[in-house]
Structure 1
């Protein structure tokens, strides 16, 4: 009995077809084009953002004035000099006070206005455009208008208080009233802008949630607290961080609150940016001004991180 054995030899696979130049260019386009689309932003940011920031750090380590330019390397002496001045700490306290009086009510009122605009209102487009009008007005115009409102002698608010039998408020002399007046300007300009951001996020919430909650007997307030607020966690974090950055960098409103732009006779509403401006362009000491700028930058980063961690922790507790 014979067995026929055949040996089969495996044939090599056929060579892969060579890609044409057009196919290679098409693959490169798919791989590289997304980076090319976003590169203009990073290029411009590197030129007008990152480079000035790093250059400011370099300037803060030197004696530097407007006329003589770069001087000797002094290390951290500029930071020590700034931290040793009472005006710096006073400006820091004023900045934090105005920041709290503006940012916290701003976010709360923006949420309430957005909830009202999200309801079935007549002429909704008109109302939504109307809340953005204060943001379009120039900060100088806002400051001039509110200067008349908060005038010490002939201000409209003091005249109204006098008609009601109350004593006039010294808006430009006392610290807390001046902070309230400046915070009112900030809230007037930015509340509507933040309300539209919240409104856009609210409209992305599925309406089925509200219908199911209404069937279960939940009222408007319960729906707002249990559905709307938890669904806006990411947006609230974004608005809080942007409000923190803007609130700590406030400059236009306190500078235009009187005709001198120094932050008051006793610097009772001088902010860190006004203090920085006075050192840089008043005293012509760019080294110390750069040190103040970097201290302000670190303060913004620190408070931004704290806000982010706090809101994320609150959100995680609510999700449980």
Structure 2
């Protein structure tokens, strides 16, 4: 009896062999970094996508989710409390961001000079940023108290009338702005200091040879060379200013103080989502805040970076002819 003929096995393409080899080599790397992507998908990506879905629904967190379309966004456009929160947020942002970044740039410029105890000042200016904001909000509440606050006591000692810091609309906004300035001035100063250390010293030496004063060196050398760093701090300060929550919530409570003068956008979103249990409207407020922050980030980018220049530029053909 003759043996059955053997059927030759199909040849494996070289590309498939290389793919298997690469997969075997990279599989341990993929497994090593997979926990990050799993955690991001669960605690980062899923909440973002779910909040988008919730913004088109009406849900109290307990019953069935009912789809309402654009009803939440339509109500948001006519909600007087929401626009009051938007106005409060922008006023506080303006009162805090402009002085904060100006002070930070000046402090960084002074720290960059050859002064004594530079390391001590760097630590001292950065210390407020790592201090508990909840504890400091309680301290600021005592300092700016209408009745027994240190600020009003100092004003009374100077023969001036006391100011209702925590019971008037402007006083509440100024108090919150002072808290933001106190907390983030040192943080931005450290960033500016790092940018100053990257500027070539030849520019300062040339300015000194030309007889430039300290103010001229600051305005004509330091500020132009620091434009990318200033752009970064302006954008981050804008996003942070539009996301204020801890300061007004701890200082004034969920109601935002007298007349909701300290009601910010995030605090109003918190009230709607976790006090009123209107998660659909809270999600709509969150995405409205995202849109506002994105628009202002683009505006700040164009203003600070100087990309808003619309002067005509020569075309490629003309450049080629030249």
TM-score per shorter chain, which class?
Answer: 0.7 to 0.9
Q: CA contact under 8 A between 2:165 and 2:172: conserved in structure 1?
A: yes
Distance 1:190 1:143 in 2: 14
In 1, the alpha carbon distance for the partners of 2:91 and 2:301 equals 20
Which residue pairs with 2:48 in the alignment? 53
**Aligned CA distance change for structure 1 residues 122 and 89 (closer, same or farther; 3 Å):** same
Equivalent residue in structure 1 for 2:114, among 97, 114, 120: 120
Q: CA RMSD in A?
A: 2.9
1:262 is aligned to 255
Q: Choose the corresponding residue for 1:176, options 161, 170, 185.
A: 170
Q: Is the 8 A contact 1:98 1:179 kept in 2?
A: yes
Q: What is the TM-score of this pair, normalised by structure 2?
A: 0.83
Structure 1 residue 164: Cα displacement: 1.4
Matches within 5 A, 1:67-216: 67-68=62-63, 70-216=64-210
* Residues 289-315 of structure 1 deviation map (CA, whole Å, 9 limit, x = unaligned): 000001011000011110001112279
Q: Deviations over 1:20-66 (max 9, x none)?
A: xxx999999xx999999999877755544343222211111011112
Count of residues in Structure 1 that have an aligned counterpart in Structure 2 = 294
Contact 2:144 2:165 (8 Å CA) reproduced: yes
Q: 1:65 corresponds to which residue?
A: 60
CA distance change for structure 1 residues 128 and 278 in 2, over 3 Å: closer, same or farther?
same
State how far apart, in whole Å, the 2-side matches of 1:58 and 1:73 are: 9
Deviation at 1:265, TM superposition (A): 3.3
Render the CA deviation track for 1:228-285: whole Å, top value 9, x for unaligned.
Answer: 1111111111111110111000000001113x33201321111111111111111111
Residues 85/113 of structure 1: CA separation in 2 closer, same or farther (3 Å cut): same
Kept in 2: contact 1:230–1:315 (CA 8 A): no
CA apart distance, 1:316:
6.9
Q: Name the CA distance, whole Å, in 2 between partners of 1:186 and 1:291.
A: 26
Distance (whole Å) between structure 2 residues aligned to residue 33 and residue 309 of structure 1: 44
Ranges in structure 2 where 5+ consecutive residues have no aligned partner: 1-17, 311-322
Of residues 212, 232, 236, the one that matches 1:238 is: 232
